[in-house]
Amino acid sequence: MDGEGVIVPLDSFSQPASLIKKTAVSRSWVSVDTSGQSTVLDLDKYGIMKRVSIHARDLRILDPLLSYPSAIFGREKAIVLNLEHIKAIITTEEVLLRDPLDDNVIPIVEELQRRLPPPNLNFMGQGDDEEGTGVQSEAQTSESNEFPFEFRALEVALEGICSFLDARTRELETAAYPALDELTSMISSRNLDRVRKLKSAMTRLTNRVQKVRDELEQLLDDDDDMADLYLSRKLSFASSASSDVGDFTWSPASPTIESKISRASRATPFSTHGENDVEELEMLLEAYFMQIEATSNKLTTLREYIDDTEDYINIQLDNHRNQLIQLELFLLSGTVSLSVYSLVAAIFGMNIPYPWNKNHGYAFKWVVMFAGVISGSIFMSILTYSRHKGLVGL
């Protein structure tokens, strides 16, 4: 391979799924340009590195076979984006998305096609008033310039991942709350196993949401990292600096050339918009940080509800255990009482001749009654003592 790759027509989506999926795992990318046109590319890692000017370590972050946490990195000419299933490389001219056949990636591609074209393109050829059209196009172009292409693509990716995680959270809530209520009403192995699976799913989803939230929070806390995402600004500064330097012919005797180059080097990409001016990107990230924070709060509320349900179940189990202990105490007390009665019967039932059992048939009923009274007295004494000590309920 020469590393340049092959452009695959969009009709390739109709090819057999097994063949396409095998290709998509290793080499398949989809490119969406500034006009919203998409093209499926068959590129190896060297072709991607040459196309977007990134290092191999950045490309490894997007490898679906490797487990890397969510990350957003700003490089010299690209933004490397790894958010769950959204693995993308954003430049000032195109967005490259990995695995275009993934069911979760297809909606992102469609949204990019819809939202990436500049707003002024939607008004081309409309309106009879040339002056009005010019003013409208100028306004739209100004708006487009204020919100660069890479930020529009980043917004689509952030919106996609936040909506995806929020949808998974709502599905989990829909399944979890009825299952927990059913478990509180009837404790069974089936309901316990169902809640256990839901809790495991919630833990996994919480970790995924937390990774995205932590990445956005870390990005918001560092202005330099946010400044690295201004690709258009860096590109504009680089072109202007090169043109300024190119206007001069270097001469060792020129006293002003060094000062002019020094001034050009100090004119950072933020000099036009103010030094470290990242307010526009910060507002964008804060909006989706609040959305992912709301999703995290939903999962936290669900976890607290699960914990409360577990506490309630444990209280119920403890109550049942106490009732079994009380029943066991009653049975033991009855056994002790009957053992006294059996002792009397055993004594009088021994086959040993003795003189006082002659002509005393009336004594049988008194012995039986006396033994029964003694046994009952022992049973009541044990229960009275247990209630006095609080061992059984009143």
Could you read off the pLDDT of 48-74 as tens digits, one per residue? 888 888 888 888 888 878 878 888 988
Q: Which amino acid is at 376?
A: G
Sequence-distant (6+) residues with CB within 8 A of 324 are: none
Please name the helix (run of DSSP H) or strand (run of DSSP E) that holds residue 40, with its range, or none: strand 38-42
* Band (276; pLDDT cuts 50, 70, 90): low
Asked whether residue 118 carries a pLDDT value surpassing 50, the answer given is: yes
- What's this model's pTM, rounded to 2 decimal places? 0.70
Instruction: To the nearest 10°, report the CA torsion of 129, 135, 141, 144.
Output: -110
pLDDT, residue 44, reads 84
pLDDT, residue 116, reads 85
With beta carbons less than 8 A apart as the criterion, state whether 202 and 187 touch: no
